[in-house]
Amino acid sequence: MRVKNLAELEKILAKKQVLQRNTQPKNQDNTPPPPQLRIIGLDVALRCTGWGIIDTKSEGTVQIPVDCGVIKTDQKAPVSECLRRLAGGVRELIELYKPDVAAIEGGFYCQNVRTAVILGAARGAVIATLAEKAIPTHEYAPRKVKQAICGLGNASKQQVALLVSQMLHIQTDALALDSTDALAMALTHAQLLSAAQGFGVPDPI
């Protein structure tokens, strides 16, 4: 059809706009989509730190695996180099995956003073990097994580990995146990968020 003047063109465009509005899908209940939270779990150690990331929806009741792995440093590297690589690795993970919150393993009793000092230094490097990126960080005792995932405070790493596999519907046979421990920490935080509207979630450190 040939448009003879501007008035006719405006009428045609107006009809098309009405048609487009009428054919667009409508949100039946006008409810917003459930919020999504991305959680990074970190099983901190000096030379091999496990990390795992999940997305949680519907206030923690639905967990979706995103990725996991380890940050490793050569056994012969000095402590300062290990700390540098650890902080740099966590910083890269934050920039790549943009987590909203972090869950890390809380301190535990060590008979060896040197081991306790080294672990404290590694935790300090990780916590400082998370704080630098304004990521709220919650810590969970190893026993609490095992109880949340397995129902047993003395569960083995293999048992934790098996339950993580079932909860997230992923194969964990080829994954490092440090990374499945990190996923377990993220899952623990998600579970506590879904329980009694977050009652029991520890304050950020």
Which pair of tokens denotes residue 106? 């809380």
Amino acid found at 151: G
Identify the residue whose tokens are 């490097």: 125
Can you tell me the distance from the alpha carbon of 67 to that of 77, in angstroms, rounded to the nearest whole number? 27
Largest interatomic CA distance in the chain? 92
Can you tell me the distance from the alpha carbon of 185 to that of 53, in angstroms, rounded to the nearest whole number? 10
- Decide: residue 126, CB within 10 A, 0-12 exposed, 13-18 middle, 19+ buried: buried
Amino acid found at 75: Q
CB neighbours of residue 80 within 10 Å: 9
- The stretches of the chain forming alpha helices (DSSP H) are 6-23, 79-97, 113-132, 142-150, 157-168, 177-194
Sign of CA dihedral 51, 47, 135, 91: negative
Which sequence positions are flagged as catalytic?
43, 105, 178
Contacts with 86 (C-beta within 8 Å, 6 or more apart), sequence order = 44, 46, 49, 71, 73, 122, 125, 126
